[in-house]
Amino acid sequence: MSGWINLYISDAVLKAVADMGFTEPTEIQKLVIPSAVRDRFDIIGAAETGSGKTLAFGVPVVEHLLANQSFLESSGQKKGIRALILAPTRELVMQIKNHIDALLKYTPFKVASVVGGLSLQKQERILKYVPEIVIATPGRLLALMRSAEADSCLSDWSHLQCLVVDETDRMIEKGHFEDLQHILDTLRKNTSKKLQTFVFSATLTYTHPVPKKRGGVNADKMDTDEKISRLIEITGIRKEKHRIIDITGEKGTARTVVEARINCNNLLEKDTNLIYLLSRYGGRTLVFTNSVDASRRLHGILEKLEHKPVPLMLHAKMMQKKRLKNLEKFAMEEDSVLLATDVAARGLDIRDVQHVIHYQIPKTAELYIHRCGRTARATKEGLAILLIDSQDVFYYQRICRNLNRDVPIPKTLLGYESVLTKKRLNLEKEFPIFPLDSPELYAILKKRVEVATAVEALDHRLKKMHSKQTWFEKAAASADLDLDG
């Protein structure tokens, strides 16, 4: 614990950190905590996922509250929310809460989470006890603030001392997270003093054009300086007293994650490669897709192949309780498989995820980094594999450019042998080909996968036909009509 002792933290927090099993601070924690605790700087932090960002802001927040506790007790001020932590997803909020709960073990403070998908009334009851720390998604928090009564703690932010905005890269882009801006405007109007503000992201220095939203217009691409300037403006970071701490490497992903690719000529090859990886290599595996339909299709194929343990799913269309239950199962089973959309890419801290497989290539470098960040956490090793077919080439190239990895379009991809592959290459930066070292197993699996995918496609068509027939029957019944046989 010698490394923690030198970070200017109190005995209560030091003891809690020891109980959590963190014997030495990570690089981001060593750089952030003294600047925040001793010097009271605002922090803009960038670090790879799994590098310990939660404690990097969690420890200073708790220390700030402890430092002001005796004054508040002696002055007789009423209780109020003293720290607000905002995060983009429900899962990330719950994981931050678990860490903060552990940090508060030897303090008198309480923490509450505010997220969508759970009972509004229950969250309102919890907030009546006025927790010192609130961790929330912007959407649900804003809804509660708008419906709060005059005597609610959500109507009085005058006690607020600390503000944290985690995974900020998406929150500051034009057209995204308007709820966040409304919340921050409310805080400014109701808080007379300057807050100590923490802003963290795994991808702060990566920029890309914001995807066009339905019915909207494309936002302009920001460079890194513009991104940081907008961040300072929106969050109210003190221009005269802040530090930018960026430990992200040129690679973007954690130093301990091994990245590789497998080129696929068609969908059958892509499916077979996935099943091969799951069959050949044990361990907890997270498979990312770009859509709920793709996850459901893979789930159906794995079920027909009788894959054990039964694969789990995680996507935005699932009920919150089911999502949390599947996450618990995934964390408990050593060889479990989780089929997930990018709802799982940000912030999830599941220990010992050995493999991340990009079944479909993410559309931005930020998403790629966040996906890879689910493995190789806390200095452990991990493997991230891209399955690339002709439909993935555009996004694959864009990721390579944004991560400074000038790689060619793989020549094995159908229809993509062009002058582009003849460009001068920086081969040291290329994603290496992952070796398929058991041709016999691959050949056997390919035959099984071919049958399973055909059956799954037939099942899918039958379900659509049944759904359509059911719709007609309901419509006819409501109109009091008889359908011809």
Query: What is the model's pLDDT at position 217?
Result: 46
Query: What tokens does 3 get?
Result: 């490394």
> Tokens 């795994």 correspond to what residue?
202
Query: What is the model's pLDDT at position 458?
Result: 87
What are 322's strand-pairing partners?
none
Sign of the Cα torsion 477, 478, 482, 484 reads: negative
Instruction: Give tens-digit pLDDT for 117-138.
Output: 778 888 888 899 999 999 999 9
Residues 6+ apart with CB under 8 A from 33: 7, 8, 9, 25, 56, 59, 60
Helical packing angle, 53-75 and 11-20, nearest 10°: 150
Instruction: Give tens-digit pLDDT for 240-260.
Output: 899 999 887 655 555 667 888
Query: What is the model's pLDDT at position 210?
Result: 44
Q: Where are the domains of the chain?
A: 2-246, 257-460
Query: What is the model's pLDDT at position 351?
Result: 73
- Closest Cα to residue 380, out of 102, 4, 49? 49
Query: What is the model's pLDDT at position 239?
Result: 86
Structure letter (DSSP) for residue 433: B
Same fold, 2-246 and 257-460: yes
**Superfamily designation of domain 2-246:** P-loop containing nucleotide triphosphate hydrolases (3.40.50.300)
pTM beyond 0.85, yes or no: no
Question: Does CATH place domain 257-460 in 2.40.40.20?
Answer: no
Backbone angle region of 115, left / alpha / beta, with phi > 0 → left and psi within -120 to 50 → alpha: beta
β-pair type (257-263, 382-388): parallel
Query: What is the model's pLDDT at position 47?
Result: 80
Query: What tokens does 227 get?
Result: 């991104």
Query: What is the model's pLDDT at position 35?
Result: 94
Instruction: Give tens-digit pLDDT for 401-424.
Output: 888 765 444 444 434 333 333 333
Rounded distance, CA 484 to CA 473, Å?
A: 11
Query: What is the model's pLDDT at position 474?
Result: 65
Residues of the chain with pLDDT under 50: 175, 209-219, 407-428
Query: What is the model's pLDDT at position 226?
Result: 76
